[in-house]
């Protein structure tokens, strides 16, 4: 029998490899220690990945041609929204859309240079990604893994570089507005949200949450200032149309009663055309939206001693210490 000191034993450093590797991965992905380095790596990856998508995946024409047709009619002197249309129908977006896509019209040689437009949208995607990451970064508990999850959406890449929809421009301003709202820059945030609304009306869905945050931070006075700023920006952006055909502009660009076509839906295709187009389904969605909004406001109020306390503080000007410190 060999002496104990001569018996072969496994090196201790090999036993420690697994826990060390796990600790390293946890530090990198499940903490914010290397957040900025991870973001830089993700931006480089997204740049290459989007470039590859543009080169290898065929562009799908849906709305871009119609956008360019609408801009062309505007540039020929038309200011009546009822007379501005494209292959997919009349112009139904506010004036900010017209200004953004007029710029795109000139940059892309009257909309003919699709590849150049795709590269612009690629840049917009990356800038938007960085904006979202900066919002995440403000919460010290958010780790790198949440930022990495931003890149797994196939549909998101498609919307940006393969479809050239107007949503990316609208949501870029909305997300930038969210970033400045988190920094408590209420006026700047209101300007940015209004610019988003001026491109596509669906940014209005953000406004209840935005107004709740502003109400908690600054009370009813800040809410009124924000509303005035938002309305003021809308007037400035839409001035050429408001001075000529105001009714047509307001009705078409903010058409709340508009019925959407079943062929364009993605999320509700499984319910069938008849249900999708029914008034009962529309009313049900609206009711659900309002109920969820009420639930959200009650839930958001809990850290500040409940909704009634929030309302009292907002109306009577009592500063909310929790909100100011958070």
DSSP annotation string for 13-71: HHHTHHHHHHHHHHHHHSSSTTHHHHHHHHHHHHHHHHHHHHHHS----SSHHHHHHHH
19-45 pLDDT, tens digit per residue, is 777 677 777 667 777 788 888 989 999
Split at pLDDT 50, 70, 90, the class of 305 is confident
pLDDT at 18: 63
Name the DSSP letter for residue 269.
G
- Please classify residue 48 by burial: count the beta carbons closer than 10 Å to its beta carbon, then call 0-12 exposed, 13-18 middle and 19+ buried: exposed
Tell me how far apart the 2 most distant CA atoms of the chain are, in Å: 104
62-116 pLDDT, tens digit per residue, is 999 999 999 999 999 999 999 999 998 899 999 999 999 999 999 999 999 999 9
Split at pLDDT 50, 70, 90, the class of 9 is low
Residues forming beta bridges with residue 89, ordered by sequence position: 86
pLDDT at 264: 66
Share of the chain above pLDDT 90, in %: 58
Q: Rounded distance, CA 163 to CA 261, Å?
A: 18
pTM of the model as a whole: 0.86
Backbone angles phi, psi at 7, to 5 degrees: -70, 140
Range with the poorest average pLDDT among 148-157, 195-204, 205-214: 148-157
Mean pLDDT of the chain: 87
* Cα R_g (the chain), whole angstroms: 25
228-261 pLDDT, tens digit per residue, is 999 999 999 999 999 999 999 999 998 876 667 7
DSSP annotation string for 187-230: HHHHHHHHHHHHH-GGGGGGHHHHHHHHHHHHHHHHHHHHHHHH
Q: Rounded distance, CA 296 to CA 52, Å?
A: 40
pLDDT at 144: 79
Calculated CA dihedral for residues 292, 230, 91, 106, nearest 10 degrees: -130
pLDDT at 53: 96
Nearest by Cα to 100 from 169, 167, 162, 175:
169
**Residue 7, helix vs strand vs coil:** coil
Domain ranges of the chain: 33-256, 265-325
Give whole-number Cα distances, 41 to 33, 152, 258, in Å.
Answer: 14, 15, 43
Q: Rounded distance, CA 143 to CA 139, Å?
A: 9
Most confident listed range (175-184, 257-266, 315-324): 175-184
120-147 pLDDT, tens digit per residue, is 999 999 999 999 999 998 887 788 788 8
Split at pLDDT 50, 70, 90, the class of 324 is very low
Average pLDDT, integer, range 44-72: 95
pLDDT at 325: 47
Name the DSSP letter for residue 262.
G
Contact between 229 and 194 (Cβ < 8 Å): yes
């Amino acid at each position: 029998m060999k002496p104990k000191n001569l018996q072969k034993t496994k090196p201790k450093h090999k036993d420690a490899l697994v826990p060390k590797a796990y600790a390293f991965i946890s530090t990198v992905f499940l903490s914010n220690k290397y957040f900025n380095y991870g973001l830089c790596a993700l931006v480089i990856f997204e740049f290459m990945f989007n470039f590859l998508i543009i080169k290898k995946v065929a562009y799908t024409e849906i709305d871009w041609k119609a956008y360019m047709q609408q801009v062309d009619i505007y540039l020929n002197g038309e200011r009546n929204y009822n007379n501005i249309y494209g292959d997919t129908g009349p112009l139904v977006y506010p004036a900010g859309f017209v200004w953004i896509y007029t710029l795109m019209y000139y940059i892309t040689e009257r909309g003919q240079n699709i590849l150049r437009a795709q590269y612009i949208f690629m840049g917009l995607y990356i800038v938007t990604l960085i904006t979202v990451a900066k919002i995440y970064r403000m919460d010290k508990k958010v780790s790198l893994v949440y930022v990495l999850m931003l890149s797994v959406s196939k549909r998101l890449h498609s919307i940006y570089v393969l479809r050239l929809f107007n949503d990316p421009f609208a949501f870029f301003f909305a997300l930038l507005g969210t970033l400045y709202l988190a920094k408590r820059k209420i006026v700047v945030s209101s300007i940015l949200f209004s610019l988003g609304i001026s491109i596509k009306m669906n940014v209005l869905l953000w406004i209840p949450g935005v107004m709740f945050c502003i109400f908690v931070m600054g009370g009813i006075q800040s809410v009124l200032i924000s509303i005035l700023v938002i309305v003021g920006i809308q007037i400035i952006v839409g001035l050429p149309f408001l001075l000529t055909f105001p009714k047509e502009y307001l009705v078409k660009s903010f058409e709340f009663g508009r019925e959407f076509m079943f062929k364009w839906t993605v999320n509700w295709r499984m319910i069938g055309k008849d249900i999708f187009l029914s008034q009962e389904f529309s009313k049900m969605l609206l009711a659900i939206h309002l109920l969820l909004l009420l639930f959200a406001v009650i839930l958001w109020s809990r850290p500040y001693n409940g909704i009634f306390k929030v309302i009292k503080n907002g109306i009577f000007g009592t500063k909310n210490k929790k909100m100011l410190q958070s």
